[in-house]
Amino acid sequence: MSKLYLVPTPIGNLEDITLRAIRVLKEVDFILAEDTRTSGKLLKHFEINTPMQSHHMHNEHRTVENIVRRIKNGETFALISDAGTPAISDPGFLLTRACVQEGVEVDCLPGATAFVPALVNSGFPNDKFVFEGFLPPKKGRQTRFKTLAEETRTIIFYESPHKLLKTLANFMEYFGEERLVSVSREITKMHEETIRGTAKEVLEYYTNKPPKGEIVIVVQGKA
């Protein structure tokens, strides 16, 4: 039966892909990839020869309607992002919503997502949490921090290396310099690390050791 599969891919270590994900990627008619060059390396490694086509934030508004039509006509697609689970701070939401609205079956496979190991590894309460993804670059950033300052649940952010120091300084300003923070960097990769401490301590650490790689920040909620 034709459907859309949402297939998580490794965020670093290639061993983190599932056997089911490999099978699905081999069986579908087409793979929608955020970056065909990046995904091409993954597919080659696992000897997956399924045709790919580009599906990313710059073209997804134009391609969704055609993809849904093709699925309804009998083709099966798998959507993958460069790393992790599609639609989590990556393309995927628009296509998933369109399929749901058109009665097309969607099957999301379980798999790698960066914020889950970062949350569990932080040592902060994880029975209730808020996933914020990437913060607004400028407009709305101050308003967001003021709102989150009163949040009692654990808060999770994605951040780029060149913005980490600014964000940690924002934590000190809006949450207080003693608020506990856990920064996980390069999860599943060779130079993986997690630095825990107060916002002030973690800022001092990364001021002296400029960060590199993909970053997840976990912040303890307000007491």
pLDDT score of 139 more than 90 = no
11 and 59 housed in the same domain: yes
128 and 213 housed in the same domain: yes
Q: In what order do the strands lie in the sheet with 193-198?
A: 129-134, 154-159, 215-219, 180-185, 193-198
55 and 92 housed in the same domain: yes
Average pLDDT over residues 6-12: 97
Q: What is the pLDDT of residue 1?
A: 67
- DSSP bridge pairs for 194: 184
202 and 153 housed in the same domain: yes
Output the pTM of the full model: 0.92
> pLDDT category, 109, cuts 50, 70, 90?
very high
103 and 150 housed in the same domain: no
Q: What is the pLDDT of residue 61?
A: 85
Query: What phi and psi values does residue 85 have, to the nearest 5 degrees?
Result: -90, 130
135 and 52 housed in the same domain: no
Domain of residue 77, residue span: 4-108
130 and 157 housed in the same domain: yes
Could you give the number of structural domains in the chain?
2
How many C-beta atoms surround the C-beta of residue 61 within 10 A?
A: 9
102 and 121 housed in the same domain: no
Task: Give, to the nearest 10 degrees, the angle between helix 141-148 and helix 164-174.
Answer: 50
Of 59, 86, 108, which marks where a domain is finished?
108
100 and 127 housed in the same domain: no
104 and 8 housed in the same domain: yes
Could you tell me if 25 and 3 are in contact, meaning their C-beta atoms sit under 8 angstroms apart? no
86 and 13 housed in the same domain: yes
62 and 138 housed in the same domain: no
Q: Could you report the per-residue pLDDT of 20-30, keeping only the tens digit for each?
A: 999 999 999 99
